[in-house]
Chains A and B, each alone.
Chain A
């Protein structure tokens, strides 16, 4: 799923995006989009339209995720530790800073769509971190942004923890994911239930992962987000954990992972049963002035590299060796940049700090 920033793939205007044939879907991130929630809500009210129209995403599948593929940050989250009674409805204020993570939330109750009282667990929250700072995202907030944007598929709420988090912290996150999912489903209209991906949490703890997977496998969800990968685990640990998780999950539902993007890792994960990837790996390469050049079809053609490279999977186009190179970045590649331009031109654009370099590399 293509990485986006504020709803747009970096450097790709809609005409350029449409010209890239193999892109099927995009990732939309809670972290940076949450600050615009009120705009999306209004847009839905006024225009009855959502993410596809607002971000001009055309025919692309949209996945709304919790974790920013570009930056992994642990952020505070909280579930209630005791039952709460209903309190009069107050508007949520997403810009207030969250209290410390272990205190129970005394946030206002959310307004349920029906007249039945909201289950107490729905008063937990997670956090969205954007350029403006941190914001609390309650279940009601998340439901609002989901119903407004109406993404094709979306993650359940989850607290992201890194692989080597403490057992206690990870345990809390598992419970939160589970509880918030129930709360979310209670707030969403039925036709959206078929689009939610349940979250498998548990950091590096096999027993927690097992329980989390078993728990979410029972729920009536469309697919699964396997959270917390590419947060410090070794490749062996990852493979082992994926196996444990996959055994618990139904075969006929998609599994999505946010984070890893290097081609070898993607291939390993596909072999393990992962179906969808949210990564900013291509964008990272663009920022480093590298053109990805690893072969993508089998049988592999003989190496096209003309120069010794430390990493045969990419070309660093800042290298002065390309100044007169009239070849396309990757000979045989059918993208616009390779059909039209030369390595020499991209090298020049990088040298002169021109934005078009990023556009073509993207």
Chain B
């Protein structure tokens, strides 16, 4: 890792409408945005070696503070030199705060002003995660970007809890900033909350920006809310966040969402989707997805995508993948390689077309491939219109 001061620099190198290409300088790597970040929850992207992840042109990958804080734990992590050294991943990393588990493990979590008490699903032991504790674990992990501990509510929650969570998130960001022990080596990002309420979101945006953090995330979305409530909040937050700092939309990973949200001005995305769906035998392609367990592929001797240059498409047929999809571990590895390659390729196309000022054409051709019978979902049409891109009706 190079010593950079400050440890993050973000330069917008091209714009096309609200979409922009950026160069993000981090201690371990220089990345191009918009970018997709695969998730390696427990210190590994399931089944893939660190070399394979690099070969796929990944820039930043994610680690999960809650899980790594549990196993192997911050002391062991620190003793072994941090997550980069532990995993031998040479490029950049981002750790989330552990906050998402509040939502996903809600039955096992109790939230107070102090922090979140989790009951481990593995052994029943309890763990109190405070902003200070989250910072400590993340400092031990040593990722280039750390996420503040926020009070996350499910996006389908309504009522006063949403406002309470937004305000607590602001109190917690200040505790995070204070507890962050390595500000010269690691970047702390704040997370904008406020549920689906634009007024709360505006309040949160204003307060977060006052803290002058190196970057910001749009949180609390991608959790089951309807898409037509999702995109206006994304748009509002992207617009409201500073132009010269990276904007990270958490938990977004379907191809359509990546394209639309890039159009709205988002720079960074993460999602377990491509790797998880790989383990269920699904391959992602520009026109949708192939469920390779289906018998329709038993004698299909084409590669997954004849235009794809990944290792899997160069060497294997759909017929072969059908024989192992969902049953052999190596199937998950192969499809993860392809799916991550797919996501990386998509982001590259987004970036190139923004740079070449042909982004609207790219979006239109992408939509035609995904929805050949002119059946694009209304929310996407509306969102793209808001971003200044009209989908031509054929």
Contact = CB atoms under 8 A, between A and B. Distances in A.
A10 interface: yes
B317 A54 contact: yes
The 8 closest A-B pairs by CB, nearest first: A56-B315, A355-B47, A356-B44, A352-B42, A8-B330, A354-B44, A348-B72, A6-B324
B315 A43 contact: no
A11 interface: yes
B47 A359 contact: yes
B299 A351 contact: no
Count class of interface residues, chain B: 35 or more
A349 interface: yes
B323 A7 contact: yes
Contact of B49 (A9, A10, A14, A356): A356
A15 interface: yes
Given A7-B323, A349-B42, A359-B47, 14 more contacts: A8-B324, A9-B330, A13-B52, A13-B337, A15-B52, A39-B299, A43-B301, A43-B317, A54-B319, A344-B86, A345-B88, A349-B43, A355-B44, A356-B44
Nearest to A339: B88
Contacts of A206: none
Contacts of A11: 47, 329-330, 333
A356 B47 contact: yes
A352 B67 contact: yes
Interface in B301-340: 301, 311, 315-317, 319-320, 323-324, 327-330, 332-334, 337
Contacts of B299: 38-39, 42-43
A356 B41 CA distance: 12
Interface in B22-43: 42-43
A252 B188 CA distance: 70
A218 interface: no
B43 A348 contact: yes
B301 A356 contact: no
Contacts, number: 113
Contact of B333 (A13, A56, A351): A13
B298 interface: yes
Contacts of A352: 42-43, 67, 71
A174 B299 CA distance: 37
Given A8-B330, A344-B80, A356-B44, A39 B49 contact: no
B46 interface: yes
30 contacts: A5-B328, A7-B320, A8-B324, A11-B330, A13-B52, A13-B311, A15-B52, A36-B323, A39-B319, A43-B299, A43-B301, A55-B320, A323-B72, A324-B80, A336-B51, A342-B80, A344-B76, A344-B86, A345-B80, A345-B87, A345-B88, A348-B43, A348-B86, A349-B42, A349-B43, A351-B71, A352-B42, A354-B42, A354-B44, A356-B49
Contacts of A55: 320
A358 interface: yes
Query: Is chain A's interface secondary structure helix, strand, loop, or mixed overall?
Result: helix
Contacts of A326: 80
Contacts of A38: 299
Which of B43, B316, B320: most chain A CB closer than 10 A?
B320
Contacts of A42: 299, 301
B303 to A, nearest CB: 11
A345 B86 contact: yes
Contacts of A323: 72, 76
B106 interface: no
Contacts of B329: 10-11, 355, 358
B292 to A, nearest CB: 13
Given A336-B49, A359-B49, A12 B71 contact: no
Contacts of B49: 16, 336, 340, 356, 359-360
A13 B86 contact: no
B50 interface: yes
Nearest to B80: A344
Contacts of A131: 327
A46 interface: yes
A25 B332 CA distance: 24
A310 interface: no
B48 interface: yes
A356 B47 CA distance: 4
Nearest to B48: A356
B174 to A, nearest CB: 33
A354 B333 CA distance: 12
A30 B334 CA distance: 23
A219 interface: no
A150 B255 CA distance: 41
Contacts of A10: 328-330
A341 interface: yes
A56 B298 contact: no
B58 to A, nearest CB: 15
Contacts of B333: 11, 13, 355, 359
Interface string A98-132: 00000000000000000000000000000000010
